[in-house]
Structure 1
Amino acid sequence: MNPSTGTFYGIGVGPGDPELLTLKAVRMINHVDVIFAASSIKNRHSLAVEIARPHISDQADIRMLSFQMSNNEDEKETLWEENARVIMAELEQGKNVAFLTLGDVLTYSTYGYLIRIIQQKNPGIPIRSIPGIPSYLAAASRMNMPLVEGEESLLITSGARGGKALRKFSGCAENVVLLKTYRHIKDINDALAEAGLRRNSRGSPGAAGKAK
């Protein structure tokens, strides 16, 4: 660890309710010198910042990093590296820096790509990950639906390719959570019906469901 560098904090801000941020997340948000968050190239809005806004000082130094949604892996890697270098420049000046992310900081998060690059470029930078409540846990809580009981297993997977993952893993676990489902609801519903699971499934922004 290089004592002259700041610490990089990944902070999960939870599923959307500002009251669901952890006490540690709030404390670290107000501890750091610079707060970064992801925004699209089209605008400078960050939902993660808006969720955390009630806990952020009016004097906070908040900066947006643009992450273009692309299917080109080289383009995405280049943009991740550019943004990682922006963060590293602040850390190497001795500043403590946070990156805010929706849900949990290490579950389908841009932060995961950033820390991989930072660890490669400067292994001496200390990194601390502050977990947040992921969307599927908030969804299950809203529906008062236990996700696993007894000796059951739970599979968490992406719905970004529609029902493909569900068809692949059907029967591997008693309970399945599909995240990132927003563009493929119909195909996912079709896959559930094909597996005879539609009746026992529940839909929610977190896409949590029993697959018994």
Structure 2
Amino acid sequence: MENVGKLFGVGVGPGDPELITVKAVRVIKEADIIFTAASTKNTYSLAVEIASPYISSDASIEKLFFPMSKDVKEVESAWIKNASQIAQVLKQGKKAVFLTLGDPTTYSTFGYILKKMKCVMPDANIETIPGITSFHAASARLNRILVEGEESLLVTSGAFGGDRIRHVGSVENVAIVKAYKNIEDINKALKETGLDNRCVAVSKCGRENEQIIENIDALEKRTPDYWTLILASK
């Protein structure tokens, strides 16, 4: 199978095109085809926008649709379909890149692709290229140390509220990504666990319209923004 191509899962970082690694830039420039995730409700891809300075004019861009649904069969079917589409490209001997925001192994759609590729094309040549996460970018933007000494750090999603935060135990620092829809419950959980002492939210980090919100209660009065994260410490 010498003619088989290769798939790269590439993290493009949190939003600033200058925060893409040198290796990721090289791979993007060399790609025959660029894959990116899109929802059935929104075809726009921030990942493509971030990587656009490095995408060759000869490369084609394909959007893979991932339904925002609770129907397990519908979702599984979409994942298999997308992985099969990528497999067909690899069988043509092409170099494919799947772009993802932040890091490909951290709350990333690429994780689903990786799992399904093992089903549809077990011998596929795949390489994952790490990217800078949103919480690392936010801590750098704030000149704030995420963790030091013997401290621990919990990275969790706030998409379904603050229950994960309520079980942090002895964890001193928390990074909450996807802090948008259930912010009221997230705020409540932070206060219950004493993590509201040093708490700050960052929206659209490193991008135009970036906002730093030091009063997290104010988040409850804002229109929910998917690109919001919270850093909190005891």
Preserved CA contact (<8 Å) 1:147 1:210: no
TM-score by length of 2: 0.85
State the Cα distance separating 1:120 from its structure 2 match.
Answer: 2.2
Q: Percent identity?
A: 50
Deviation digits for residues 131-180 of structure 1 (CA, Å, limit 9, x no counterpart): 110100011111111000111111111111101111122x2311111111
Give ranges in structure 2 of 5+ residues lacking alignment.
204-227
Determine the structure 1 residue equivalent to 2:158.
159
Q: Distance in 2 between matches of 1:197 and 1:82?
A: 42
Letter in structure 2 aligned against 1:178: I
Give ranges in structure 1 of 5+ residues lacking alignment.
none
Q: Distance in 2 between matches of 1:135 and 1:77?
A: 27
Deviation digits for residues 33-84 of structure 1 (CA, Å, limit 9, x no counterpart): 1111011223432110001111112232111111111122222111111111
Preserved CA contact (<8 Å) 2:152 2:172: yes
Of the structure 1 ranges 198-207 and 88-97, higher mean CA displacement relative to structure 2 is found in: 198-207
RMSD: 1.3
From 180, 183, 186, the equivalent of 1:185 is: 183
Determine the structure 2 residue equivalent to 1:209.
231
In terms of fraction of residues, the more strand-rich structure is 2
Does the residue aligned with 1:190 lie in a helix, a strand or coil?
A: helix
Higher relative contact order (CA 8 A, sep 6+): 1
Q: Distance in 1 between matches of 2:172 and 2:197?
A: 14
Of the structure 1 ranges 201-210 and 85-94, higher mean CA displacement relative to structure 2 is found in: 201-210
Q: How many residues in Structure 1 have an aligned counterpart in Structure 2?
A: 210
Of the structure 1 ranges 32-41 and 196-205, higher mean CA displacement relative to structure 2 is found in: 196-205
Preserved CA contact (<8 Å) 2:83 2:120: no
Q: Distance in 1 between matches of 2:182 and 2:43?
A: 27
TM-score by length of 1: 0.94
Q: Distance in 1 between matches of 2:45 and 2:60?
A: 14
Preserved CA contact (<8 Å) 2:30 2:56: no
The 5-angstrom pairing of residues 4-153 of structure 1 reads: 4-153=3-152
Q: Distance in 2 between matches of 1:143 and 1:43?
A: 31
Letter in structure 2 aligned against 1:176: V
Preserved CA contact (<8 Å) 1:37 1:63: yes
Q: Distance in 2 between matches of 1:128 and 1:172?
A: 36
Deviation digits for residues 10-42 of structure 1 (CA, Å, limit 9, x no counterpart): 000000001111111110001121111011223
Preserved CA contact (<8 Å) 1:140 1:208: no
Deviating beyond 4 angstroms after TM superposition, the runs of 4 or more aligned structure 1 residues are none
Q: Distance in 2 between matches of 1:68 and 1:126?
A: 26
